[in-house]
Amino acid sequence: MRIFWLTFSLLVLIANPLSAKDWKLVWSDEFNYQGLPDPAKWGFETGFIRNHESQYYTQARPENARVESGHLVIECRKESFTPTNHAPVEYTAASLTTQNRESWRYGRMEVRAKLPQGKGVWPAIWMLGTNITTVGWPRCGEIDIMEFVGKDPRGIHGTVHYAANGKHASDGGRLETNQPYADFHTYAIEWTPERIDFYFDGTKYHTSPTDMAAQGATNPFRAPQYLILNFALGGDWGGPIDDTALPQQFLIDYVRVYQ
């Protein structure tokens, strides 16, 4: 009878995947304050970081990252700005990260956000392995909870990146929806030892098996990762920029991590 009950319970779990109510909330930012993002939770990437992008990420600059009216606002601007000890730049934005503050191994990561729109915009909600400073990318592993590019205005992308045989490998899915930038939507992953499921407003649209990145302890998706919220512009995937669409705002209502 005990074996039957355990088998029945497992079948129920498979047929009815875990939802947010089945997880315990372990970390969050509800953005119910004013001013700069909470420094106990968020740090900033600064400068030109990756992917040949056009924006300069500023450090704790309210014009690019602030909390107001219950939302985190990450704003990308076309402007003449001169960073300290740097030549003038043409575009500014922000990239917030929990690196050296919080990281997680497995869980449900859920973000409710409203996307910017226009050619060249490239907002993202994603994660990187905490060992990136020692092993580099892509060996550290990357989980892209949500990426959106303005040149694909109906597509939401969820992807994992890792190293296979010493080379970059990836696996991902695309969900097509009408005007995803017109309202707030919920973007989430459920990350377990077996798989990483990608969700848009509660609809699962892709699954990456954890073991595709390797067997055993070398698998980057069996190690802690930290969270990043950024608004990129142009670059390798963002494409040509429509200056007339700027400034644009990437609005985040909340960030919640369940385990």
Helix runs in 53-208, H state only: 132-135
3-state helix, strand, coil in the chain (%, to 5): 15, 45, 40
* Contact predicate 191/220, CB 8 Å: no
Give the span between the Cα atoms of 47 and 49, in whole angstroms: 6
Give the span between the Cα atoms of 247 and 231, in whole angstroms: 12
User: Residue 28's beta-bridge partner residues?
Assistant: 256
Give the span between the Cα atoms of 119 and 117, in whole angstroms: 7
Could you say which of 142, 176, 190, 194 is catalytic? Answer: 142
Give the span between the Cα atoms of 156 and 203, in whole angstroms: 12
110 noted as active-site residue: no
- Residue type for position 99: Q
Could you say which of 53, 110, 147, 190 is catalytic? Answer: 147
147 noted as active-site residue: yes
Give the span between the Cα atoms of 99 and 227, in whole angstroms: 7
Give the span between the Cα atoms of 31 and 37, in whole angstroms: 8
What DSSP designation does 8 have? Answer: H
* Contact predicate 149/240, CB 8 Å: no
Report in angstroms the alpha-carbon separations of 183 from 28, 46, 55, 209, 231. 21, 29, 24, 31, 17
Catalytic residues: 142, 147
